Chains A and B, each alone.
Chain A
Amino acid sequence: MQLSTRKTMDRAFSGLGVMAILLMAGALAVLLGPMFVRGSRAFLFRGTVEHRRVMLELFGRGDRDEIRAELALAAEARRPLYEAIAQFEKELGEMDRGERREYGGRLDELKAALRALLGPFPGEPQPALPRAQYGQTRWDRARVKLREVLYATTYDYSDPAQMGVEVLVPRVEQFRGTSLEPIFAHIEGNAREMLRPRLTFYGRFLTDDSRDSHFFGGIGPAVLGTLYLTIGAMLVAGPMGILSAVYLTEYAGGGWWISAIRACINTLAGVPSIVFGLFGCAFFINILQVSPSRSVLAGSLTLACLVLPTVIRASEEALRAVPATYKEAALSLGATKWRTTFTVVLPACLPGVLTSIILSMGRAAGETAPIIFTAAVSLGAVPTLRQVFTHPTPALPWSIYNLATEHAAVDEIRHVQYGMVLTLIGVVLLLNAAAVVLRARVTRKLRG
């Protein structure tokens, strides 16, 4: 082959590799982009007066007088609407039966859409569910509901070959010629006055309880539950892993039992996470009965089993990285092996060991499968410290799954789902970043 051909192929080859890397980076951007953008909307959004009302009435936050004044203004903007509807209802009573049924049905639809947008009508009895007691708290959702107020969804079944086609009919057409016709223009023109959206930063999203299955409020319980599980896992796996690593590097001779121990730990590293979940349920809950049913304790123990191999491996690496001369120097001064290990070797590799613990924390925080059957519930309060041995807890990974798949009103709480995902990713990335920083300091320290 010609030299120039070889050179071209060489360049093509490098190009392939660079392409692969660019694809990877692109995948990462495509993955994280929507999470960050839409997730931030859980924290930073245009909140309506209904949101401030929720904050005041459900969480006791905000200036009562200020909000009352705002509500008065909003009520003022909504008044013509309610009056027109009341008027129309009177007129309805005077229509003949056929018309009454037709307009009555359309009116009911309109009122339902208005309730979804603005909350219960004045004078109506308070609904039972909190989600129905308030209008839309977010301006982006409000705009969606506004469309539903202004447009009715009907289906066109005229074409027998296709499924029914969705057709949006402006509601004003439905009420053409009645006294209700002008209110649609009013609604469309005055939506902002009726809801008064304002840029809101809801930082307490991270700590607030959720109300009415995440319709209102924040993800506090899930965050706290994840914290409990992670710390619990590290409390078990940390010391156990470090001490095992110390034994394997410092004290173990040769011998078949050392290889057996190592083989067991390596196999443990390859077990799929769902098997850990089954194991946790069957072993900790059913056999050992560490708790009557699901609990933070069982979940922490299961997670500890999951991260144990990582902690051992990384701790072994850190221990081996300590130069042998430190050990020699200590021994030559007359220290026993025990003392050398614990006063010279371990302190020297402590940052490396800490790095491994932090990385394992990130892993434990993000795992779902081990906690499904051992610790997690979808709703509920976080157990107090005394209850962690017996009570289950909500946790971020499981709540994310739950909200995204099994929730009754999946679309209404999209922002909460994204917010949870952003929080989880944020926590994990933060822990990883901390580990990286620590690792940089380790290499600098040992190099002197």
Chain B
Amino acid sequence: MGTERSAENAGMLDAAPCGLVQTTEAGEILWANLTFCKWVGYAREALITKVRFQDLLTMGGRIFHQTHWAPLLQIQGSISEVKLEFVHRDKTRIPMVLNAIRHDAEGRVVIEIAAFVAWDRDKYEKELVLSRKRLEELVQETAKLHANAKDRALFAEQMVGIVSHDLRNPLAAIANSASMIQRGELSVSQQRSVERINRAIDRAKWLIFDLLDFTQARLGQGLSVTTGELDLHEVIAESVNELIFIYPGRRLEHFRVGDGRCVADGNRLTQLVGNLVSNAMTYGSHDTPVLVTSEVGADTFSVEVQNQGPPIPEEIKATLFEPMTRGTGATSSGRSVGLGLFIVREIARAQGGQVSVISTLEQGTAFRATFPRAAPKS
């Protein structure tokens, strides 16, 4: 589009299916075709030399014109596909996509602009923007829900810790009173009642210890351990002897491999064996023995508890060591609330060890906790 137009060319440009505008560097309109004039609702005479191109834009468009359009034209000499909204004389907004070229002929700068009304593109884009916003809101909401759930879970875990801690005092009072009663003259049925009370106290005590360990492992720095030099075989043998009394009528056998010296927390090992044997007794077959093997190798030592019986169902294998996981077929007589294996794993971890499990129909189920022989002192 030259500055000198034949009447015929001007007529063609006037009827062109896009808006055409020429402005000075500052934006003053030098010429506009009829299509553009019609789109913005002004007579050509009302635009030429009377209005700046940017004054036809919305305020946002004017700022964009100043901060992006003008410097870009200056530096690059052209821009394309910029979408700005024009304000029609009747105040309605008309979105247009714009291309522009800057001509600098001997110091006289002319900017030529082609404009296309873009209603549909505008509508579509606005829908896209809206759906992106909605998506962002959803993501935020989800994150908030997630954080809330985490907070609630944490609160619940803290509550468990507090309650189990505080339950120890009333329980101790009951235990003391039971032993006082036991010192007196008791009938056979009274004697039986007291024994039942004592067994119930023991179960409750184990539950509380498990819960305290659970909260310590989850909310604190992990389970506390106090390691020292000890003979693994002796510690495990002692535990096994105690456990035999807890499971009358069941067989529990202990095997030793290697010499027994290692560095570990004896009390925690007793707890670990207790939990594993309890599981073996609960879930294993009742007519085959539960085997406990303590083994000390060159660099590691391990404790393994094996039972025969149906294997661990596939669907709970993945979460076996997570708290609140219980096997099928567990009865209310089991002392655990589903913390046994979680605590076993935490005991192993606290001493730099790990727990593995093999469970098949043919070989039964074997849990093995393996530790470095010289555990780091905590």
A binds B: no
Residues of A bordering B, CB below 8 Å:
none
Instruction: Name B's A-contacting residues (CB within 8 A).
Output: none
